[in-house]
Every structure is written in C-alpha cells, then in structure tokens.
Amino acid sequence: MASVPSSTARMIFVTGLQNVHAVEHQALALIDRQLDRLTHYPEIAERLRSHRLETEDQIRRVEDILQSLGERSSSIKDMALSMLGNLAALSHVPAQDEVLKNHFVNAAFENYEIASYTALIALGEAGGFPSATALLGDTLKEEIAMAAWVQDSLPDLTRKYVDLRYGGRTASH
C-alpha cells in the first residue's frame, strides 16, 4: 500500500468494521424473517438457525475489535440495515416461489459478506491490525462455508419446491 498515514488507514478500517457490523445485523433480520415463515423446508431452517448463531458470534467479534480500537458500532447504520433486511425478506412473502427467491438473496448476501470481510482483512493487514485480521479471518471462513452451502443446496431445494407444487401443496415457504 502506498505510504498512507496510519491515522487514515485506521479511520478507513474502523468505518469498514462499523459497516460490516451493520451488515451482520441486516443478516440477522434476513434470517429471522425467513425462519418465521419456513414450513416445508426444515433442512433450510436448520442451517439458517446454525448460521444465525454464527452471525451472533461474528457481531461479537467485530464489537471486540472495535472496542480494542477504542471505537464502537454505529447504531444508526445497524438500525438502517436491519430494517432493509426485514424489507428484503418481506418483499418475497407474496411470491409463490418465496423460498427460492430468499435462497437467491442468501447466495448474493453471503457473497457480499465474503467480499466485505476480504476487503476488511486487507485493510487490517495494511493498517497493522494482526489480531483483528485473525478474528476477521475466522468470520470469512464461516461466510465462505455458508455461501457454499447455499449454492450446493439450491438444486435440491428447487426440486423439492417443484415436487411440492406438482403435488398441489403450498411450496412457497
């Protein structure tokens, strides 16, 4: 990295941490709205519940990093993105293929998180925050695993959705 003053690198890193903290709150809202409605897809609900616990741990990691830097999260960002997560999940409720649309959103969202954590790790390395980058690396591994699961589960989910619809059952959720 070009010779960037450490105060600038720190400021950019802290802003990124606050942003990803808010993104994780958005993830919780997306997960919760889906869990509220999943009826015919227990395998999806089980994995979402597991990832919800991971997400809570991820939020704590980011809070620990922020605290170690003498900073805190942005409640305005947290609230705004949480509301957006609720709206995104609720926007699919009237769709006959709600479960599929939510899974598509999950795939996109997990990859967004992967990109966010990859960039944060690069910022942490450039700014000289090794203990933070180790914690962020743990989260990145979890997000990569979740993204892979979402992608890998899509064919089976789609087939199950079609089977339910073909059998005249409610398949949307």
At 137-163, the pLDDT tens digits run 999 999 999 999 999 999 999 999 999
Q: What is the mean pLDDT of the chain?
A: 87
In the chain, what percentage of residues exceed pLDDT 70? 83
**How sure is the predictor about 3, in pLDDT bands with cuts at 50, 70 and 90?**
low
**How sure is the predictor about 28, in pLDDT bands with cuts at 50, 70 and 90?**
very high
Q: Does the CA dihedral 56-100-145-37 come out positive or negative? A: positive
Q: What is the pTM of this model?
A: 0.87
Contact residues for 114 (Cβ-Cβ < 8 A; gap 6+): 140, 143, 144, 147
Measure CA 37 to chain center.
Answer: 19
Res 77 pLDDT > 80:
no
Q: What is the spatial distance between Cα 102 and Cα 37, in angstroms, rounded to a whole number?
A: 11
Contact residues for 168 (Cβ-Cβ < 8 A; gap 6+): none
Mean pLDDT of 116-131: 94
Q: What is the spatial distance between Cα 164 and Cα 158, in angstroms, rounded to a whole number?
A: 10
The third-level CATH classification (topology) of the domain covering 6-166 is Ferritin (1.20.1260)
At 32-65, the pLDDT tens digits run 989 988 889 999 999 999 999 999 999 999 999 9
The pLDDT of residue 35 is 93
